[in-house]
Chains A and B, each alone.
Chain A
Amino acid sequence: MEDMLNIALPKGRLGEKVYGMFESAGFPCPSVLESSRKLIFENPAAGVRYFWVKPSDVAIYVERGAADVGVAGKDILAEYEPDVYELLDLGLGRCRMAVAAKKGFRDDRLRTLRVATKFANTAKRYYASRGRDIDIIHLNGSIEIAPILGLSDVIVDIVETGTTLRENDLEVYEEIFPISARLIANKAGFMFKGDRISALFDGLSSQLTGII
């Protein structure tokens, strides 16, 4: 069983799409898509074991070696900077990390900028690179209402279509970086299962023509 390739997939629609790519790459485990409450699935014939985990936890499973490889969003990788290999941009789940504010917002540099976000490290790094003094307000959800209620001047958050922003009278003020799903690997796992991870990399890369 130790030779099994352990793969952490993010629960949800993105994870199901990603599984399809892994299956096409030669790492099938059909029971993964059966509807049940199981979270771990094995296909000993293909030498593969899949786990469904919370998307924000995939990087932790991989960094700590519980999974050899996994798929995590660039937003999570940028925020937590796990010590993992980032092998491939899968081109799925595209969105962007952005600064958003109320329509017509003007950044008054004489004042400390109040920034509400779930991504405190990302926000700190971004504003530090611009020499801007900020006050981070760490929130866990409904970030969009912070500027409306006067809790913050701006928010730093993931923007997909922009619909939620528009419906709350907000707009993208600055874009920070594009986001998509990335194939990541544990560094020690790569040393000992390098051939299988390379085969997975090749199988996935060959499906990306026209996506990236």
Chain B
Amino acid sequence: MNSVYATQNSGESMISRLSALYELSGYSRYRMSKFEEYELYARNRDFLISDNIITFTDTDGKLMALKPDVTLSIVKNGRDEPGKVQKVYYNENVYRVFKGTRDFREITQVGVECIGDTDSYCLFEVLSLAAESLRTVSSGGILSISHLGILSGVMDACGIPENERPGVLRCVGEKNSHELARICRDCGADGDGLRAMLSLVSVTGSGASIPDEIKALSDGGVLGESVYQLEALLGALKRAGFADMIRVDFSVVNDIGYYNGVVFKGYVPGIPAGILSGGQYDRLMVKMNRSSRAVGFAVYLDELMYLGADSVAYDADVVLLYGCDCDPAAVRKKAEELSADGSRVLALRQLPEGLRYGKLVKMDGGT
């Protein structure tokens, strides 16, 4: 084993591998300021993962914020140009409070945005990049895909009133069939509609295809169009070699006020939470007075610290213990030899107490 390569999943190495992936697909780097006017986030609070924001007043008296999110800034600073598509990726630090804590953390977020006159190819390309991003992080990843048009269409077919829809979406997000069935029955849903609704939270799962109960309900309206769009996308992803990592999972329910159409979430083995999240967010564009369409995703690199935790069992793979009369150039040369296989070599004159290392190499004067 060589430790330097074994721990490449964390930090800058991962960022550069993901950046290379996006650049090779023609996405250009988008750079931005660390600050934005607070108003941008105040107006779109529900779009943010955490609504706690670090604010300060600038020298002009304007209330500013340290960025808790990147997408809003990219959307705000773009322009609508008919027929054009802007393809960008970013690698930025954002500042958020994590759920269950009261402390702000600075985290590095990498992501992709495709904004403008987007078509079905753009959607496929972004999902392909999401799947490739998971493969870059680790083998065996899973991309869970949902379609908010299907959720809305099934709710329409069941006659779920607007005031009950947040509760229904919460149940779908939790795969909570017992409460979902109660709400739907209270709303008068039964028969095919209820069966389709419950298929959204199926624990058995339907792999990479849309449940038959939903197809049976689809018509020429929103539901039918959404089923057609998702089936076409799934087919293209399977043909592109991603069949082993895609799942249809309607528990991916991003905020319906901002997102529409396809939404997705990515998981890799060994990390207890989703590390990638994205979707089509045309509704956010409308809220920000943009006429373009948009799709994108973010990779949460802070979650990657869970990966390969066992591989850093030592402070150094090799400790090179040199004597007082050793030639510094010879010590350096020996350290370089030892690190040729990727081992982390720590050269010291004395062995400190408590240091954890894999191998000890002693070097006497002149050798």
- Distance to closest chain B CB from A51 (angstroms): 15
Chain A residues near B271 (CB, 8 Å)?
65, 188
- Distance to closest chain A CB from B154 (angstroms): 19
- Distance to closest chain B CB from A136 (angstroms): 17
Contact B178 A189 (CB under 8 A): no
Contact B178 A212 (CB under 8 A): yes
A–B complex contacts, Cβ < 8 Å, 16 sampled: A65-B271, A65-B272, A84-B174, A85-B251, A86-B174, A86-B176, A88-B177, A188-B271, A189-B272, A191-B142, A191-B247, A198-B203, A198-B204, A198-B205, A201-B203, A202-B204
- Distance to closest chain B CB from A157 (angstroms): 22
| Residue B274, interface by CB 8 Å | yes
Contact B203 A197 (CB under 8 A): yes
Contact B175 A86 (CB under 8 A): yes
Contact A83 B203 (CB under 8 A): no
Contact B142 A83 (CB under 8 A): no
The tally of CB-CB contacts under 8 A between chains A and B is 55
Give which listed residue, B99, B178, B273, contacts A188 with CB less than 8 A: B273
**Interface positions of A (Cβ within 8 A of B):** 63-66, 80, 83-89, 185-192, 194, 197-198, 201-202, 212
Which residue of chain B has its CB nearest to the CB of A208? B178
Contact B267 A191 (CB under 8 A): yes
Contact A87 B203 (CB under 8 A): yes
Instruction: Produce 1/0 per residue, B261-272, CB < 8 A to A.
Output: 000000101011
Chain A residues near B273 (CB, 8 Å)?
65, 83, 187-188
Contact A188 B274 (CB under 8 A): yes
Chain A residues near B269 (CB, 8 Å)?
192
Contact B267 A188 (CB under 8 A): yes
Give which listed residue, A66, A85, A189, A192, contacts B175 with CB less than 8 A: A85
Which residue of chain B has its CB nearest to the CB of A189? B272
Q: 8 Å CB contacts to A: which residues of B264-305?
A: 267, 269, 271-274
Contact A64 B272 (CB under 8 A): yes
| Residue B343, interface by CB 8 Å | no
Contact B174 A85 (CB under 8 A): yes
| Apart from A65-B271, A187-B251, A198-B203, 18 more pairs, CB < 8 Å | A64-B272, A65-B272, A65-B273, A83-B99, A84-B174, A85-B251, A86-B175, A86-B179, A87-B175, A87-B177, A87-B203, A88-B178, A185-B175, A188-B267, A188-B274, A191-B142, A191-B247, A201-B203
Q: Which 10 residue pairs across A and B have the least CB separation, nearest first?
A: A65-B272, A85-B175, A89-B178, A86-B176, A86-B174, A191-B142, A191-B267, A201-B203, A188-B267, A198-B204
